[in-house]
Amino acid sequence: MVTRLVLGCGAVGFDLLQRLPDGETTVVTDEEPRAESLREAGIAAVEGDPTDPAAHAPDADIVLVASDEPERNRAVAAAARETFPDAMLIAYAGEGARPDTVDAIRETVDRLIDPTEALAGRVLDRTVGFESERARGLRGALLAAEEPVAVVAHDNPDPDAIASAVALCRLADRIGVDADPCYHGEISHQENRALVNLLDLPMVRLEDDDIEAYGGIALVDHSRAGVNDSLPDDTEIDIVIDHHPPRGPVDGEFVDLRSGVGATSTLLAEYLDRFDVPADTTTATALLYGIQVDTKEFTREVSKADFAAAASLIPDVDADTLSRVESPSLSIETVSVLAAAIENRTVDDGALSTCVGEVRDRDALAQAAERLLDMEGVQITLVYGFMDETIYVSGRSRGSELDLGETLRDAFGAIGDAGGHADMAGAQIPLGILAETGPDRTGSLTEIVREVVEERFFDALSDAPDAPTADDSLEYDYAPEGAASVALPYEEGRDDTER
């Protein structure tokens, strides 16, 4: 049960007390008549000095500073932070608070309720929302993690993963935790590169043992170490935030998996709002683009939460930069690969497979796989080519019930590295002995690659596993009293994981 300590109790504080949800609440006020009236209303109240630690309860999950006097609230908030360093600290600014007082309180607390910004009903909505186990659990996990924290996106991150990593680091910074947005692999698509470059996002590329420099580990837009990322599969994880249904058990001190939303960026936009972290232009633009991409412009797996998050971000978005990110020029290589993919395609029962031969930019394969999904009658695409002694495979699925990531693992896991999510996946296969095919390298090698990849792909499709659905997936949330996650019944419900 949530325990609350209310320090001071003015008119707004009294209104909140009448409407707070169930929980153990104690009020400390230095006004004897107020304390007596609260007790008559059935609320535990004691007379004492709210700034005096000796008058405080021994422990509390939530501390509310709620007198009507701004300077009093400033002093009480400072004392409460010292006495309860690990509690959620929420303060009402008071009536007629000066800007410098508001700023001082804001620097001390986790959440400031400013009467110039909201009426009492809005105050209640924000306070109750901030008391959620998710908000408290995430804050506790960030504070408990060993610094610095690596916020790791999946390999070859897409806009949703990139934006989510940047946003979680901004949230960590707000509560005083050192964190970096990290990834393995490449930031490849023109749109993804434009997003990072135009917004100057501080993404850290990890190589070899770089992860050992970090203490805590958070995963965004994927949920298991060693699956869709290059972390060792036994890596201890502190935080997981993702919107994809999990295929297996997910471990972490804090786990928030909500497949009822269309993007992880939606979840991070919600957390920024809960923690009262201003959506700066850079973060807001990245998050909105992450939502747009993962929901395919709000047409795929979209929820009310995605629309709400987008609406909250739009006022702070740099529209000109977003337009430049959305419409980068296509390279000649991409156009050439797309033309070869169309010409060389094989289509069988809604599945398209095509070999484009030797390529100079493997990113063009993913773009071709995405664009070929728009062909009539096509639900699954597989585009592949080779460079640097490796076959690169990119797959996409739309309107199909199969799990493409698992299908590619079945097809190519024994001869290479494969994986991804239900609708977007990839593989890398060493050419090996195929590279020793004689002087006419390109022609003969293309035919051999096509034969090997296409045969394995269509064989795997014949017995492909179904994608996780709302009926058989679990929704994870934070367990406030323990280190493990709790699996709750599912409530509601683009990722470039190409390893």
pLDDT tens-place string over residues 89-118: 999 888 888 989 999 999 999 988 876 655
493 in a structural domain: no
Same domain, 376 and 232: no
Nearest residue to 13 via CA among 119, 92, 80, 71: 92
Same domain, 339 and 363: yes
Q: Looking at 131, 149, 166, which one is the last position of a domain?
A: 131
Note the pLDDT of residue 438.
42
Position 76 pLDDT exceeds 80: yes
Same domain, 341 and 296: no
Whole-model pTM?
0.66
Note the pLDDT of residue 496.
40
CATH of the domain at 378: 3.10.310.30
Same domain, 86 and 233: no
Same domain, 118 and 193: no
Same domain, 90 and 109: yes
Note the pLDDT of residue 191.
84
479 in a structural domain: yes
Average pLDDT along the chain: 84
353 in a structural domain: yes
Q: Burial, 442: exposed, middle or buried (Cβ in 10 Å; 0-12, 13-18, 19+)?
A: exposed
Position 444 pLDDT exceeds 90: no
303 in a structural domain: yes
469 in a structural domain: no
Same domain, 70 and 48: yes
pLDDT in tens, 238-259: 999 999 887 778 889 999 999 8
Same domain, 115 and 159: no
Position 448 pLDDT exceeds 70: yes
CATH of the domain at 74: 3.40.50.720
Same domain, 158 and 239: yes
Note the pLDDT of residue 220.
97
Write out the residue range of the structural domain in which residue 346 sits.
Answer: 332-461
Q: How many domains does the chain have?
A: 3
Same domain, 419 and 295: no
499 in a structural domain: no
Note the pLDDT of residue 361.
85
119 or 307: which carries more pLDDT confidence? Answer: 307
431 in a structural domain: yes
Confidence band for 472, pLDDT divided at 50, 70 and 90? very low
Average pLDDT, stretch 356-374? Answer: 89
466 in a structural domain: no
Confidence band for 42, pLDDT divided at 50, 70 and 90? confident
Same domain, 148 and 296: yes
Same domain, 147 and 179: yes
